[in-house]
Amino acid sequence: MTSPSSNRAVLLTPPGVGAIGVVRLGGPDAPKIADACFRTAIGSPLSATIPGQVRLGVIHEAGEPFDEAVAVVLDDNGQKAFDFCTHGGVRVLERLLALFANHCVNMRDAHPQRPAFPFASLIEEEILTALAETKSQEAVRFLCYQRTHLVDHLEQLTCFAEQDLTVVRPFLEKLLDNAKLGIRLVQGIRLTIVGPPNSGKSTLFNQLLSRDAAIVSQQAGTTRDWVTHEVLISGWPVILTDTAGTHETPDALENKAVQAAAAMACKADAVIIVIDRSEPETPSLDAFLEFCQKTYAYQVIALNKTDKPSRLALSSERTANANVVSISARTGTGVDELMSAVLRKLSSGPANALSDSPCLFTSRQREVVKQLLLTLDRGPTNVDNLLRTELIGPIR
Ligand SMILES: Nc1nc2c(ncn2[C@@H]2O[C@H](COP(=O)(O)OP(=O)(O)OP(=O)(O)O)[C@@H](O)[C@H]2O)c(=O)[nH]1
Ligand SMILES: [Mg+2]
């Protein structure tokens, strides 16, 4: 009788976001398990396929299909083994591994104790990790550029620092200046939509995502909890949050939602304030705008519902220091202009313009450079060593 532990499944691809995941199944019962879990498109059992051949098919669990996959049949010292190439989503792979575990297959770690990117310094590892995760072409171009130029630049800086500390400061200051943009390009711009109930926040949110991700209705107070989704806008990853309408309310639950909206807006790089211009202004709208002016660093006012007659006349005091753009979230009119206004302010240029100079792109890197500048302020120091150990980081 076969010992259950002699059958094994190994995840060959690194865990995380990837288009394809590969799981290898081997052991004495592998052909039987492969037939139980995989139906080939041509109908013949996978176990009857000769090694070296590839079969398209569907993975089944308890008779139900759950992913289309390509199975590669291998010769494992005279026994048949199988590579199942499935979609790479974490849940799909977890489910496939659990399915094999149900067939008494032993799970193996393909890369025990190995770092994800062997022989890479800490900063190179950050570049490679970000490359694997980003969904923006511009960020890929930026990271590929940084992979050679940022690392070279820091190495050169280390050599300068060994000889003359004074030349290092302007370079570090420039890196610190640009870090914000690199972080936004790689990690995303955090953009929060706020406004009174029923002003059209969720409609704008859906318009920007090009799908119905949030519920829209005529009823005020539709959105309770905040909802976040990521979207690419002109190459910039944008982490977009829709929030509950801000209003005075005795209801404790509603109040929590209003407070959560304000908290999300405080954390954002920019806030879009959506106002219904087809309604006349009220004292509470005025108070809300005043609060926004005092609280948020950067805001754009979107005067919504331009497809209806306007009944709103905001005082210039309330629109001072804010970009004001008229839109119809329902039809999409003016929404491109609104986003251009936001991006102009936050990015100071197109996303691909960042790919021609060394630039930091994580909060860790930015903090290290801040600390290095403080260290320099305190007098002569071994910045070269700190650059090597703290910013570039050790090779793993
Ligand atoms: N005519 C017109 N109606 C709009 C527009 N944008 C939103 N609406 C309507 O306004 C109503 C409220 O829209 P929502 O997007 O749910 O508003 P909200 O600000 O998210 O509302 P709460 O979640 O309740 O705070 C819905 O009936 C929308 O169809 C627009 O540009 N034009
Ligand atoms: Mg809403």
Same domain, 190 and 316: yes
Residue nearest ligand 1's atom 11 by CA: 218
CA–centroid distance, 204 to ligand 2, in Å, is: 9
Which residue ranges have their beta carbon within 6 Å of ligand 1?
Answer: 195, 197-203, 216-218, 220-223, 244-245, 304-305, 307-308, 328-330
Give the up-direction half-sphere exposure of residue 314: CA atoms within 13 A in the CB hemisphere: 23
- C-alpha torsion angle, residues 110, 114, 115, 117 (rounded to 10): -70
Question: Cβ distance 346 to 128 under 8 Å?
Answer: no
Q: Whole-angstrom Cα distance, residue 44 to residue 251?
A: 63
CA–centroid distance, 296 to ligand 2, in Å, is: 20
CA–centroid distance, 309 to ligand 1, in Å, is: 15
CATH value at residue 47? 3.30.1360.120
DSSP letter for each residue of 139-201: HHHHHHHHHHHHHHHHHHHHHHHHH-GGGHHHHHHHHHHHHHHHHHHHH-EEEEEE-STTSSH
Q: Whole-angstrom Cα distance, residue 165 to residue 379?
A: 10
- By C-alpha distance, which of 43, 92, 47 is closest to 69? 92
Residue nearest ligand 1's atom 21 by CA: 198
Domain final residue pick, 56, 83, 108: 108
User: Tokens 């705008």 identify what position?
Assistant: 289
Mutation to probe ligand 1, out of 202, 273, 304 (largest number of atoms < 8 A from CB): 202
Q: What is the pLDDT of residue 4?
A: 47
Q: What is the pLDDT of residue 114?
A: 55
Same domain, 66 and 168: no
Mutation to probe ligand 1, out of 193, 194, 198, 222 (largest number of atoms < 8 A from CB): 198
Which residues form the domain of 64?
A: 4-108
Residue nearest ligand 1's atom 8 by CA: 200
147 class by beta-carbon count within 10 Å (0-12 exposed, 13-18 middle, 19+ buried): middle
Same domain, 20 and 121: no
CA–centroid distance, 314 to ligand 2, in Å, is: 23
Backbone angles phi, psi at 252, to 5 degrees: -65, -40
Question: Cβ distance 327 to 335 under 8 Å?
Answer: yes
Same domain, 267 and 394: yes
Same domain, 280 and 335: yes
CA–centroid distance, 203 to ligand 1, in Å, is: 6
Residue nearest ligand 1's atom 2 by CA: 305
Q: Whole-angstrom Cα distance, residue 352 to residue 354?
A: 5
Give the up-direction half-sphere exposure of residue 198: CA atoms within 13 A in the CB hemisphere: 9
Same domain, 132 and 68: no
The domain tally of the chain equals: 2
Same domain, 34 and 180: no
Same domain, 71 and 214: no
What letter represents residue 58's amino acid? V
Same domain, 79 and 174: no
CATH value at residue 313? 3.40.50.300
User: Tokens 């990117």 identify what position?
Assistant: 117
Same domain, 154 and 122: yes
Atom of ligand 1 minimally distant from the CA of 245: 25
CA distances (Å), origin 187, targets 181, 213, 230, 275, 393: 10, 21, 11, 29, 21
Same domain, 241 and 296: yes
Atom of ligand 1 minimally distant from the CA of 223: 23
Atom of ligand 1 minimally distant from the CA of 331: 31
Domain final residue pick, 51, 82, 108: 108
Distance from first CA to last CA of the chain, Å, rounded? 44
Query: Kind of pairing, strands 54-61 and 64-76?
Result: antiparallel
Question: Cβ distance 227 to 274 under 8 Å?
Answer: no
Q: What average pLDDT values come out for the chain (396 residues) when binned by 10 residues?
A: 69 78 93 96 96 96 92 92 92 91 80 61 90 88 92 89 81 92 94 96 96 89 88 93 89 86 92 96 93 91 97 86 92 96 82 80 95 85 85 82
CA–centroid distance, 328 to ligand 1, in Å, is: 10
Same domain, 130 and 18: no
Residue nearest ligand 1's atom 9 by CA: 200
- C-alpha torsion angle, residues 107, 108, 112, 116 (rounded to 10): -80
Domain final residue pick, 89, 108, 127: 108
